[in-house]
Structure 1
Amino acid sequence: MFQKFLVLLAGLIFVQQHLEAQVTKNIISHNQETIVTDPSKGENSYKRWAVFPSKNEEIRQIFLNLTFECPDNMRCADWDYVDHIKVRQKNDTVNYEIARMLTPYGGRFQEDWRFDWKVDITDFSPILRDSLEVDYIHTGYEDNKTRGWKVTVDFEITYGTPVAEQLAIHKIYDGNYSYGDQADPIENHLAPVTLTASTRTNFGKVKIHQTGHGMDANGCGEFCDKYREILYNGKLIDKKQLWMECGDNPLYPQAGTWIFDRANWCPGYLLQADEVGFDISAGQEYTIDLNMEPYETEKPSAKELLVAYVLEYGKVHSQNDVTLVDIISPSEEKIHSRKNESGALPVIRIKNNGKNNLKSLGINYFIEGQKPKKFSWKGDIPFGETALLTLPEEIFNDKESARFFVELKRPNGKRDGFEGDNIKSSIYTRPNVLPEWTIIYFKTNNKPGQNEYSVTNSYGEPIFKRDSVDLKPNTTYMDTLTLKEGHYTFKVQDTGGDGLEFWFKSKDGSGSVKLLDTLGQAIKHFNSDFGSHIIYNFRVTPGLAYHLDNEPSINMFPARTQGPVTLDYFANQEKEVKVIITQQEDETKIVETHTYLNLKKGILTYDLSYLPKMRYYLKVVIDGNEVFKNRIRLKE
């Protein structure tokens, strides 16, 4: 026992020393600043100066952390606009877009709402030096007196030996280019660019920020799927479909058409740049060319918002160098909240920063106070590429929360060229405990052919499944599970990507899903507006008490109506419940108030057809707290 204690103590001390050895600095250019539109111009600039590391300080990595909140004394903004984060060096006229944010539909977010995103901007390290002007540019035309965002821009800088010496950065394209215009083809603006490599250049990278916008008769450029090619010296080195599925967005639900797939972006998304590497002959000329899929239309209105850079690098510093990029699960980061289908199996992302292909790796992982688990990974990851790894052994802790550690060791059996980024930790939160007998409550909408739901163990082995062919429209299913001790994942899939309810598709109806105990009490409520899927990890431990989900489940449908509105209310406890309907633009103007004494469950209906055709809010207030808020669009 004493030996075991010493092993654990030594492991914790070792990890702590490594974590402390990695020196990190945070530079905040915009600290909880209220950002609003300027409707007169369509964009509003928020320029702030910040001091970054000097040019002689070595930087290993830079992350840009972006936080959105609802502003004080305002509501969150409504529309999916394009925001830019640009930097300009002192006494320079050239600016560089280092990040691009696509804002969410915030009309239904509560006052305490918050979300965090991050993007790796290490490639801009040569620019992010000394005094810099950081410009947050918010575009759009919506009202700027009652709505906006509270924004924090945080540069997280890790010091240390860079992966390779950064020699040059060339901005080769920067514009909002028309797409589909026969009179002004986009290729006129995407002409080949010829550059001369430094005499020390070893390899290069094309880095692109590109999103499609506008709406012509074919849905281009926001809602059309087109490809882009990258040519190096006339040879194709990359071809990508500029398309993104939005139904699995971790920021959900939103007020607008958040589930609709788009041209390389989704509402509520910090753009992750496209990156394509290539070899360069030192001191030689080379040509980079971007080509869009040929496209013409009679009345063009599509735009391709595109910024592209070419980066030149010297020699890679280490032959063998692996980086632990992120711990996907367990994690408290909301951006990872919909990614883990493996239950109790940890998921990590690694990157090969060594010149040699990464073919083997030692991985130690453990929850604090437990004996480390060891995994010998084998594979093949080229330089500069990342991989998502699911670790083979389950993790569990009786504590509700604990620190989880991962350590990478000996890439390709050699000492790592930079050990400062081999260890990370995250917060482990114990999965919800469910009883041995659990009931799946599943009410279908009008499109049950899009749905199926299942329960698997951590290793993906099926325990229970109800397929779409088993489901009928507007039918409630109650499936009782009898489960042994272990970890499980409950998953609901919707092939239409529109969940069991979506305001834009009122003809599809509304469904619901929850987990109940044998007394009919809710253990877990799920939001019906979930897009593509629900993933819920849980554990069964006989004799261990389970907790009820005592927050009420509240669904309002439809959100676009000529008058009728239904509120589906389900709770474990009786409460006095107030339903308040107000005008959207002036929430002090209350049009209806309903008070329900000792309400536990019920289908509540309202007819608003007598009201002026405009937008309203339906709010639910319990014990003086607003627990639900959704928008109603009253139409002709």
Structure 2
Amino acid sequence: MKTSVLISVMLFLLCGMAFIPTEASAGPGDTTVVQTFTFNWPGSPKEGTFLFPPADKRFEKILMYYTLKCDPKQNPACGEWDYLTYTRLFHHTGRFDSTGKEIVERYELGRFITPYGIGLDLGEGWTWVYDVTDFRQLLADSVHLKAGNWQELLDLKFIMIEGTPPRDVIKIENLWRGSIKLKEFAAKVPPRKIDLDPRAKMFKLRVTTTGHKFSNPTNCAEFCPKIHSINVDGVRRYQWQIRQECATNPLYPQGGTWIYDRAGWCPGMPATTQEIELTPYISGSSVFLDYNCEYDEYGNYIVETQFVSYGPPNHNRDAAVVEIKAPNRGEMYNRINPICARPLVVIQNTGAEILNSLDISYGPVGGNTNTYRWTGSLKFLEKKEVWLPAFNWGTWSGGNVFRVTVSNPNGGSDEYAYNNTMESHFETAPVYNSYLVISMRTNKAAYETYYEILNAAGKPVFTKKNLLNNAIYRDTIRLMPGCYEFVIHDYGDDGISFWANNDGSGSVIFRLTGGGLWKTMNPDFGKEWRMQFTYSSLVNVEEIAARPVDFSVFPNPANGALEVTYSVDVPSQLRLRLLDVLGRVVKEIDPGTVAPGKHRARFDISDLAPGNYFVALVGNGAVIRKVNIIIVR
């Protein structure tokens, strides 16, 4: 994708259809936004027909942005319970059955389970992203959609990135679907013979299955673990455990049992879709597929599956960066952000050639850039999370935008440049000039919990284990300047305070040795809670004032120049230093030995990036006075 995306803001309305097109000169990497339902759209669920780009327009990727916001007219505003909701496309085929009724095929673009809304605040909206590129042939011209529910407000838009996909969709077709009792699964989900499209070279099976009902001897199918599997021509080729972890949900805490592991879903998250690559196991003109799961007498599954046929890979040697998880200020990444240490990205092999090496360049736009050589082995369309080495971020201009670019796949040229670069907006991790004090009060299940401090490389430098019940601990974290991460773990996946157990309530409060309440951790965090922070070079240097010293800085905020006024009552050897938020000296004035009395100095700051800085008066190797300032433009 190009780093500058072209989006037209013109809204075209025709016969009740909404479409935000790009300019006629759009090319690869440019983006078309199709706005469908909005927060104020009437109806529950919402339904309408919308104009999409024509079928002959080629798109590299199509993303569905599903945004929910609390409805102030409801009580509670976010809805009390977790409900199943669907985003469905109704394909009008133009064919008719024997009664003269048009045949309309229904496709599920996405399934979502609403959060427990008591006490929940979604602000101006939370956005979940679905990759719906496989439905490109159906997302063309006039498209009939239905989505949403009667609780939360919904905004639904489609982000269509123009260009060449890794492979073209030839055909998508529904297979097994419906609400199916577990005890009837084998009968209702029989083996299927699929006649293959002669144009197709590659194949995938999409499976979205969620389990529901409990309060029975096995708590099936919402809470019971079951193995699901896919047989191809009689041979088991793929299997998965349907129950998934919910205690790391980014949308937390919720007003219900949000931490409990469930079958294929979690409250306040999209349902999980298994995307199963079948190409290695298919030959000939047809294939038999068989979907199985372990038996149970109770509960039911809601099943939706599609068989997707593709052409061959469009590129031989191509790699892409497909996600920046950290740094990223997006709601779905709040568990691991903000950061000051190792960025976390996802790369993908989008070429037919096995990917064994890749250069990854990264850094804030307008600041320092680092390059890392990744090595490994990725087949076509396989993805890999990559922890990039920590580096010196320095200072930067142009806002908090982080850029990642991949290049030199397997040491050669990349055949498709438009998926090589991605950017994210981010917030900076806090920087502190005095030590962190951690005050913890344990609950009645302290054996489940411990916390640790990790350095920039992710290695523990302090660990607090073997805690006692209902005890109070205070630790002052005395470490050298640098980036660190506080992590608290809970083996019970229920934090240190949760309404639906008998563990009682604990708490964690962070303070600074300089005084003041800094931050209180939400104890209803589920599995773990993380916070990165930086100790500046001033953290282990206390101000000294053996003799009275007047020290002032003007203006603050400052733009262009900074005036410093100071006075001493005895001859003194002094330096004035301007430091960035990490305590690095960016400018220095050395007046030498100054006589008693009042003195002035001037910093030229016209060449410095906007942000937070410190002005320090240093004498005899110690900081005598320091003042926090803000540089603006």
TM-score bracket relative to the smaller structure: 0.7 to 0.9
| Aligned-residue offset at 1:520 | 5.0
What is the aligned counterpart of 1:454 among 448, 452, 464?
452
Query: Where does 1:83-102 land on structure 2 (aligned, <5 Å)?
Result: 83-90=85-92, 91=94, 93-102=104-113
Tell me, in whole angstroms, the C-alpha distance in 1 between the residues paired with 2:163 and 2:392: 32
| TM-fit CA distance, 1:52 | 1.3
Q: Which residue of 2 aligns with 1:431?
A: 429
Q: Is the 8 A contact 1:436 1:483 kept in 2?
A: no
Q: Which residue of 2 aligns with 1:406?
A: 404
- SS state at 1:387 partner: strand
Task: State whether structure 2 residue 480 is matched by structure 1 residue 484.
Answer: yes
Aligned-partner residue type, residue 408 of structure 1 = V
Residue 129 (structure 1) aligned with residue 127 (structure 2): no
Residues 217/137 of structure 1: CA separation in 2 closer, same or farther (3 Å cut): farther
In structure 1, C-alpha distance between the alignment counterparts of 2:471 and 2:422, rounded to whole Å: 47
User: Equivalent residue for 1:528?
Assistant: 523
Instruction: Measure the CA separation in 2 of the matches of 1:63 and 1:70.
Output: 23
Per-residue CA shift, 1:218-239, capped at 9, x if unaligned? 1100011101010111111101
Distance in 1 between residues matched to 2:377 and 2:122, nearest whole Å: 47
Take 2:413 and 2:119, find their aligned partners in 1: how far apart are those partners? Answer: 51
Amino acid at match of 1:210: T
Give the root-mean-square deviation of aligned CA atoms.
2.4
Aligned: 1:187 with 2:186: yes
Q: How big is each residue's C-alpha offset from its partner over 1:321-363, in whole Å with a ceiling of 9 and x where there is no partner?
A: 2121111110011101114697511111111111111111111
* CA positional deviation for 1:543: 3.3
Cα distance change on mapping 1:503 and 1:284 into 2, 3 Å? same
Paired with 2:367 and 2:325, the residues of 1 have a C-alpha distance of 20
Q: Is residue 338–residue 427 contact of structure 2 (8 Å, CA) maintained in 1?
A: no
1:322 corresponds in structure 2 to 319
Deviation per residue, 1:8-30 (Å, 9 max, x gap): xxxxxx96599996111111211
1:360-509 superposed matches below 5 A = 360-398=357-395, 402-467=400-465, 469=466, 471-505=467-501, 507-509=502-504
Q: 2:307 aligns with which of 307, 310, 314?
A: 310
1:523-549 superposed Cα distances (whole Å, 9 cap, x missing partner): 22110111111110111103389xxxx
Q: Name the counterpart of 2:617.
A: none
Q: Secondary structure at the match of 2:81?
A: coil
Identity over aligned residues, as a percent? 28
Q: After alignment, is 400-409 or 213-222 more displaced? A: 400-409
Alignment of 1:195-210 (within 5 A): 195-210=194-209
* Counterpart for residue 612 of structure 2: none
- 1:161 is matched with which residue? 164
Q: Do structure 1's residue 518 and structure 2's residue 517 form an aligned pair?
A: no
Deviations 1:241-271 (A, max 9, x none): 0011111110000000001111111100012
**Matched length:** 507
Deviations 1:81-125 (A, max 9, x none): 110000123445001001000100111024736311112111111
Q: Indicate conservation of the 8 Å contact 2:434/2:538, yes or no.
A: no
Pairing 1:591-602 to 2, within 5 Å after superposition: none
Are 1:120 and 2:131 matched, yes or no? yes
Q: Aligned with 1:420: secondary structure?
A: helix
Contact 2:63-2:131 within 8 A present in 1 as well = yes
- Out of 81, 84, 101, the residue aligned to residue 82 of structure 1 is 84
Corresponding residue of 1:172: 175
Match of 2:34 in 1: 27
Q: C-alpha separation between the residues in 1 aligned to 2:524 and 2:433?
A: 26
User: Cα deviations across residues 108-164 of structure 1 (Å, max 9, x unaligned)?
Assistant: 0247363111121111112111110111153xxxxx6xxx21111111111111211
1:59 maps to a residue whose letter is F
Looking at structure 2, the residues matched to 343 and 293 of structure 1 have their Cα atoms a distance apart, in angstroms, of: 45
State the 1:519 CA deviation: 5.3
Question: Partner letter of residue 382 of structure 2?
Answer: E
- Separation in 2 of the partners of 1:518 and 1:541? 14
Q: In 2, distance between residues paired with 1:111 and 1:364?
A: 34
Tell me how far 1:193 sits from its aligned partner.
0.7
**Letter of the structure 2 residue corresponding to residue 230 of structure 1:** I
> Which has the larger Rg?
2
User: What is the match of residue 253 of structure 1?
Assistant: 253
Question: What per-residue deviation string (whole Å, max 9, x for no partner) do you get for residues 402-435 of structure 1?
Answer: 2111111121223222211110111232211133
Matched, 1:231 2:226: no
The residue number in structure 2 matching 1:543 is 538
Change (3 A) 1:528 1:345: same
Match of 1:93, SS state, is strand
2: CA distance between counterparts of 1:165 and 1:481? 55
Q: Offset at 1:73?
A: 3.1
TM-score by length of 2: 0.76
Instruction: Give the TM-score taking structure 1 as reference length.
Output: 0.76
Matching residue of 1:580: none
CA distance in 1, matches of 2:336, 2:272: 16
Q: CA deviation at 1:399?
A: 6.4
C-alpha contact 2:364 2:402 (8 A) present in aligned 1:
yes
SS of corresponding position for 2:359: strand
**Compared with structure 1, are the counterparts of its residues 121 and 15 closer, same or farther at alpha carbon in structure 2 (3 Å cutoff)?**
closer
Residues 261, 194 of structure 1: alpha-carbon distance in 2 compared, 3 angstrom cutoff: same
User: Aligned with 2:134: secondary structure?
Assistant: helix
State the match for 1:290 in structure 2. 291
Change (3 A) 1:223 1:113: farther
Spell out, residue by residue over 1:10-60, the C-alpha distance to the aligned partner (whole angstroms, 9 max, x if none): xxxx96599996111111211114688xxxxxxx53211111121111111
Contact 1:346–1:395 (8 Å) recurs in 2 = no
Aligned partner letter, 2:476: T
Task: Evaluate the alpha carbon distance shift between residue 31 and residue 255 of structure 1 in structure 2; reply closer, same or farther with a 3 A threshold.
Answer: same
Quick one: distance in 1 between partners of 2:396 and 2:314?
42
Secondary structure (helix, strand or coil) at the match of 1:169 reads: strand
Q: Is the 8 A contact 1:202 1:281 kept in 2?
A: no
Is the 8 Å Cα contact of residues 491 and 535 (structure 1) preserved in structure 2?
yes
Q: Which amino acid aligns with 1:171?
A: N
Instruction: Report the Cα distance in structure 2 between the residues aligned to 1:160 and 1:536, rounded to whole angstroms.
Output: 38
CA distance, structure 2, for counterparts of residue 192 and residue 356 of structure 1 = 33
What CA distance in whole angstroms lies between the structure 1 residues aligned with 2:360 and 2:122? 42
Query: For the residues of structure 2 that align with 1:154 and 1:86, how far apart are their CA atoms?
Result: 14
Q: Is the 8 A contact 2:495 2:527 kept in 1?
A: yes
